[in-house]
Amino acid sequence: MAVGVFDSGLGGLTVLDALTKRLPDVPFVYFGDNAHAPYGVRTADDIFNLTCAATERLWAEGCDLVILACNTASAAALKRMQETWVPADKRVLGVFVPLIEALTERQWGDNSPPREVAVKHVALFATPATVASRAFQRELAFRAIGVDVEAQPCGGVVDAIEQGDEILAEALVRSHVEALKRRMPTPEAAILGCTHYPLMEKVFQDALGARVKVYSQANLVAESLADYLQRRPQFAGLGTQSKFLTTGDPAYVSNKATQFLRRKITFEAV
């Protein structure tokens, strides 16, 4: 029973790695739309159409449940997909929910009025499209009051990570952190709102300082999925084999993925 994991590129591998460690008996089919990455600079309609196409491909692999391990897709496309496109016998979930649950210390199904939470000043680092969607702020506002969110669009970071240029990626991260700190000098927490960014988590933490709690999504998503499948095992899907699919050059993507996860990864072309 396979579960689909989608990302615009390689960043979702950080989520997949946590998922496979938490759920070692579940096969996962990973789809990277590397030919169209990055999504963070695309229009909402582009993101919606590309994400739907990838989701359909994962459904064809027997994955009735698809995780959008891409914050840009979760922010710009998921709500529209769930309201207008996803059939009743399928499920598509995003990566924002577990993050907001952790930040507000309340379950997603808790529909009580918004209340005050311990963290008041939150820095959000994300792609330009995620920041423009204001999806994180919107969902947070349903559950918490009095939280100041300062968002920093981190242009160029995903490209640098995808190209394997760690020196450029680190320089860009430090530049974006400094830009945010000019507007919010003392954040209490920081959200790494892109699944590529955990690869640079140490750089974010160093630039922000030890007092800032950095929330990274991978482990939170893994725990959330384990709970979801326990409650709704019927959505585990009909697929039986793990595999990696890409719209890009499979040899190039396989090489980069192997570097990221430090284990042999072989992608197939779609």
- ω into residue 38 within 30 of 0, thus cis? yes
Q: Which of 52, 63, 154, 194 is catalytic?
A: 194
Task: Quote the pLDDT of residue 109.
Answer: 63
70 counts as catalytic: yes
DSSP character string of 123-170? EEEE-HHHHHHTHHHHHHHTTEES-EEEEEE-TTHHHHHHTT-HHHHH
- What's the whole-number average pLDDT of the chain? 93
Residue 251 corresponds to which amino acid? A
Give yes or no for a contact between 170 and 200, defined as CB atoms under 8 angstroms apart.
yes
CATH number of 3-94+218-269: 3.40.50.1860
Predicted confidence (pLDDT) per residue in 137-164, tens digit: 988 888 889 899 999 999 999 999 888 8
Q: Would you say the CATH fold of 97-215 matches that of 3-94+218-269?
A: yes
Q: Could you give the CA distance from residue 51 to residue 260 in angstroms, rounded to a whole number?
A: 23
Q: Which of 52, 63, 70, 154 is catalytic?
A: 70
> Is pLDDT of 259 > 90?
no
Predicted confidence (pLDDT) per residue in 211-231, tens digit: 999 998 898 999 999 989 999
The stretch 94-118 carries a mean pLDDT of: 81
> Is pLDDT of 54 > 70?
yes
Question: Which has more confidence, 33 or 196?
Answer: 33
| pLDDT band for position 108 (cuts 50, 70, 90) | low
Task: Quote the pLDDT of residue 163.
Answer: 85
The residue ranges of every structural domain in the chain are: 3-94+218-269, 97-215
52 counts as catalytic: no
Of all residues in the chain, the percent with pLDDT exceeding 90 is 74
The stretch 50-73 carries a mean pLDDT of: 96
> Is pLDDT of 254 > 80?
yes
| pLDDT band for position 187 (cuts 50, 70, 90) | very high
The stretch 102-124 carries a mean pLDDT of: 83
Task: Quote the pLDDT of residue 5.
Answer: 98
Instruction: Write 137-144 long-range contacts (CB < 8 A, 24+).
Output: 139/96, 139/97, 139/100, 140/100, 140/103, 140/104, 141/114, 142/114, 143/100, 143/104, 143/106, 143/110, 143/114, 143/115, 144/103, 144/104, 144/114, 144/115, 144/116, 144/117
Domain spanning 97-215, CATH class = alpha beta
